Amino acid sequence: MKRDSRLSIVLHGLLHMQAQGKPMTSAELALCMDTNPVVVRRTMAGLRENGLVSSEKGHGGGWTIARPLAGISLLDIHESLGEPDVVGFSNKDESPGCLIERAVNRELDAAMDEMRAVFTARMRAITLADIWDSVREPFNAHHNYRKDHPDDA
Amino acid sequence: MKRDSRLSIVLHGLLHMQAQGKPMTSAELALCMDTNPVVVRRTMAGLRENGLVSSEKGHGGGWTIARPLAGISLLDIHESLGEPDVVGFSNKDESPGCLIERAVNRELDAAMDEMRAVFTARMRAITLADIWDSVREPFNAHHNYRKDHPDDA
DNA sequence: CTATCATGAAACAAATAAAGTTACATGAAA
DNA sequence: TTTCATGTAACTTTATTTGTTTCATGATAG
C-alpha cells in the first residue's frame, strides 16, 4: 500500500453501480473491487456529501448514482475525495530561509503546478459517461445489441 | 515524512557545493540541508554512479560536482535517483480481468502518462546552471558585483 | 413489534515507504 | 599511526494508505 488508489477504486465502483441498474450494497461493491465494505463506505462518503451518490439503509438499501453520468466529471470525483495531491514528490521545506533552497523550490513548484494543471484539465474533460461508453463499445461491436443496459431505457 | 523529497534535497546540496567552490563533506551538507550525513551519502550515491559528482575520502575529502553545471539537467539528477514515480496516485490493480476496471485504468494511465511527460520535458530543459543563475540574479542586482563567485574565474 | 439488513462511524491493526540514526569497515591524508 | 571522511548495512521512527473489528443507527419485511 503505497500510492493513493481511491480514485481508481471509486471509478470502478461507480461504473459497476451503473451496470447494475439498482442499488448496490457496500458488501457487493467490495466483492467487485476486491476490497472491504468499510473501505467502500469510507471512500463513497465524500461523494455522498457532494451529491454525486446517495445511500439508503435497510432492506433493499445500498448505493445509487444520484446524477446523470454525463454530469459527473472525474474532477468532481477527485474533489469529493478531498483533492489529494496528485504529485508524488515535494520540497523538503516549503518556506526555507536559504536563498538557494528557495530557487530550487521555485523550479520544482513550477513543475508540480504544471503537472497538477495537466491532471485537472484532463479530469475536468472526462465524465463518467465517457468511460461508460468506452466499456460498452467493444461489447456493442461484438453483439450489435444494446437494449439490456439501464441507460438505454 | 510523506512525499519523496530527494530531488529537492539533492538540488539544494549540489548548489551549495557550487557556492562553496571546494569539496564539502557529508556533515557540512547535512547541516545546510537540515538532514543527516548518511542521508546525504545515500542520496548522492546514485549521482556518483552516473558521474555527476565525485567523492573523496580522508582529509580534505568530500563531494565535488564532476561536470559543468550547464551539462547537468534536472532529468539527469532524477534518473540518478532511480527515477522514482512522480505521480502520486495509482490504479488499484494494474492488470485486472474486469472490463470496467480496464476502462478506468486506460483513462487514469493516460492522465498519469501526460503528467510524467510534462515532468520529464521540464526536467530535461532545466540545468543546474539555470537555477544557479536564478540564485545569483537578485544578489547581482543588489550588489552589482560578481567577481567573488567561483564560476566567474 | 421485532428481527434482519444496511449504512455510519470510531478505533485499531497491517503494510509500505521515506527519512533518520547507529555502528563499523575502508581508505586517504596529515 | 592517528584522524578524517566516505561506504554500507541494519535498525528505528514517522507518515500514509488500506484493511479490519465493533457497535450504533435507521429502514424494511414479516
Give the integer Cα–Cα distance in Å for B46 and A115.
Answer: 25
> Could you report the per-residue pLDDT of A3-51, keeping only the tens digit for each?
899 999 999 999 999 999 999 999 999 999 999 999 999 999 999 999 9
Position A80 in a domain: yes
> Could you report the per-residue pLDDT of B76-127, keeping only the tens digit for each?
999 999 999 999 999 999 988 899 999 999 999 999 999 999 999 999 999 9
**Residues B128, B13, B49: CA angle, nearest 5 degrees:** 75
Position A57 in a domain: yes
Phi, psi dihedral angles at B20 (to 5 degrees): -75, -40
The domain that holds A61 is classified in CATH as 1.10.10.10
A9 contacts B106? CB cut-off 8 A: no
Using the structure, give the distance in angstroms from the CA atom of A23 to the C1' atom of C9, rounded to a whole number: 21
pLDDT of residue A144: 55
Q: Give chain A's domain count.
A: 1
Position A94 in a domain: yes
> Read out DSSP for A26-69?
HHHHHHHHTS-HHHHHHHHHHHHHTTSEEEE-STT-EEEE-S-G
B84 contacts A107? CB cut-off 8 A: no
Q: Is B136 exposed, middle or buried (0-12, 13-18, 19+ CB in 10 A)?
A: middle
Question: If contacts are CB pairs under 8 Å, which of residues 33-92 in chain A contact chain B?
Answer: 33-35, 74, 84-92
Instruction: Return the C-alpha torsion angle B101, B106, B112, B113, nearest 10.
Output: 150
Position B153 confidence tier, pLDDT thresholds 50, 70, 90: very low
pLDDT of residue A153: 40
- Average pLDDT value over all residues in chain A: 90
> Could you report the per-residue pLDDT of B31-67, keeping only the tens digit for each?
999 999 999 999 999 999 999 999 999 999 999 999 9
Position B150 confidence tier, pLDDT thresholds 50, 70, 90: low
Using the structure, give the distance in angstroms from the CA atom of A5 to the C1' atom of D20, rounded to a whole number: 19
Position A1 in a domain: no
| Whether residue A117 has pLDDT greater than 80 | yes
Buried residues in A73-96 as b, exposed as e (16+ CB within 10 A): bbbbbbbbbeeeebbbbbbbbeeb
For residue B101, give the H/E element and its range. Answer: helix B99-125
Beta-carbon count within 10 A of B44 CB: 24
Give the integer Cα–Cα distance in Å for A52 and A8.
Answer: 16
Segment A77-90 mean pLDDT: 96
Is some CB atom of chain B closer than 8 A to the CB atom of A124? no
Nucleotides, chain C, CB distance < 7 Å:
4-11, 14-23, 26-30
pLDDT of residue B96: 84
pLDDT of residue B151: 53
Residue range(s) defining the domain that contains residue B53: 6-152
Is some CB atom of chain B closer than 8 A to the CB atom of A103? yes
Position A46 in a domain: yes
| Whether residue A143 has pLDDT greater than 80 | no
Using the structure, give the distance in angstroms from the CA atom of A88 to the C1' atom of D3, rounded to a whole number: 42
Q: Is A69 exposed, middle or buried (0-12, 13-18, 19+ CB in 10 A)?
A: middle
Nucleotides, chain D, CB distance < 7 Å:
3-10, 13-22, 25-29
| Whether residue B71 has pLDDT greater than 60 | yes
Position B1 in a domain: no
